[in-house]
Amino acid sequence: AKRLQSLGANCSIVVDNMHDEANLQYGGLYERLYIVLNDVIAFAGERGPVGYRVEEVEQWLKNYRS
């Protein structure tokens, strides 16, 4: 989240805490990286953790800012 924030993203960045409370409350089965733009999922990454490709998120954000 800090890496994404350092890119200057002009959006909310939401993460679960170290106690996994959001996962426990909402029963998230798989972890994914998402970008939500105007209440619409603009980017949905592959299932994590093996499907995490932070570089894809970074590239999407760079292209969006341009």
Render pLDDT for 7-59 as a digit per residue (tens, 0 to 9).
887 888 888 889 988 878 877 677 889 999 999 999 999 988 788 899 999 99
What is the number of domains present in the chain? Answer: 1
Q: How many CB atoms lie within 10 A of CB 31?
A: 13
Q: What is the token pair recorded at 5?
A: 């924030």
Number of helices (H), then strands (E), in the chain: 3, 2
**Residue numbers of the domain that contains 29:** 1-65
The pLDDT of residue 36? 92
The pLDDT of residue 56? 93
The pLDDT of residue 27? 72
